[in-house]
Amino acid sequence: MDTFVTISVDSTLFNKKNVDKAIDKAFSEIERIENVLSFYNEDGIIYALNTNGYLTKEKVTPELEYLIKKSVYYSDVSGGAFDVTIHPILNLWKEGLWTEDSERQNEVIRDELSRIGYKKILIDDNGIFLDKVKIDLGGIAKGYAADRSLNIIQDEGFDTVLINIGGDMVAGDGVWKIVLSDPDDPDNYITSFNISNKAVATSGNYERYFDPSKKIHHIIDPRTGYPASECISVTIIADKGIDADALATSVFVLGPEEGLNLVNSLDNVDALIIDDDRNIYRSNNLSKFEDLQFHSNA
């Protein structure tokens, strides 16, 4: 996942060795998930699926089936704004498509778009089959790893926990304050949220870029092949990290109006969206998480 991980545990009433043991187990699980879900790990199940184009039912783990079904679900509800087959398009930009003129970009992207699409993933009683596509679960890996880490630490008897994997956070018991920084001024803030037994994920166009001038950000619209252009930042609050992770990308790609409609149509999901003009959109029930005393004038 190539990112930072922090694990906070309220351990005032517990033996430090037991806490350290639980945290070590969580880090081991994160490493396992990274290896299993890696697009490039030749020993991983994703590599085997992509190389062969299928996995028989006997080789499909419950974990893989869960992750792919989750991915397809969010592809469906977002109308294709989330798509785990997008890797070839990302590669085009990574390898320098941004240096080409617009006509050449259109030609290359149009050709590649015909070769991707989540509807080319088939899951049935015989296994998982890919119709000339490859899958990359990086869009949900951090959220899923955070979920699993929380479960492991709670199974060890520590319920007051906060896991942060590259900005994707899941909280156990207790009330945790999550500060949302201003994308244009990280020393300032937009607002903060008080969460308990919830997950928070943020996607932003300021995080990673394909080009040195930082004009081509990494969140690509699978429907067009170009960087999504309507949002600066999307923060999602959901019950699970995997859901918050997938929805943060989905809503960012959809834009503020469609994205907000999607969030408001789902149970136990809220969002704060900042569009390209710095207008702020809040979902119907976001106020129950916001700390009004910490609220900026944004």
Question: In this structure, is the dihedral angle defined by the CA atoms of residues 248, 254, 255 and 257, taken in order, positive or negative?
Answer: negative
pLDDT at 243: 98
Q: Is the dihedral of CA 164, 169, 175, 179 positive or negative?
A: positive
Cα–Cα separations (whole angstroms), residue 10 to 20, 23, 26, 29, 163? 12, 12, 15, 20, 12
DSSP E strands: which ranges in the chain? 5-9, 54-56, 121-124, 127-130, 161-165, 168-171, 176-182, 185-195, 199-204, 231-238, 270-275, 280-282
Asked if 218 and 207 touch (Cβ cutoff 8 Å), the reply is yes
Q: Which CATH class is domain 45-130?
A: mainly alpha
Per-residue tokens: 123: 């899951």
| pLDDT tens column, 201-220 | 999 866 654 545 445 557 89
pLDDT of residue 184: 81
Say what the pLDDT of residue 187 is. 83
d(Cα 212, Cα 226) in Å, to the nearest integer?
Answer: 17
**In this structure, are residues 145 and 10 in contact, taking their beta carbons and an 8 Å threshold?**
no
- pLDDT for 229: 87
d(CA 34, CA 42): 13
Q: Say how far apart CA 37 and CA 17 lie, in whole Å.
A: 30
CATH of range 175-294; options 3.40.50.10860, 3.40.50.720, 3.40.50.300, 3.10.520.10: 3.10.520.10
Beta-carbon count within 10 A of 286 CB? 17
CATH 1.10.3980.10, the chain: domain bounds:
45-130
What pairs with residue 162 in β-bridges?
Answer: 8, 171
d(CA 208, CA 252) in angstroms, rounded, equals: 14
Residue range(s) of every CATH 3.10.520.10 domain in the chain: 175-294
What are the C-alpha distances in Å from 286 to residues 141, 162, 206, 235, 271? 25, 20, 23, 11, 7
pLDDT along the chain (298 residues), means of 10: 86 78 96 93 94 96 97 97 94 74 80 91 96 94 96 94 95 95 85 96 71 61 91 96 97 97 98 95 96 56
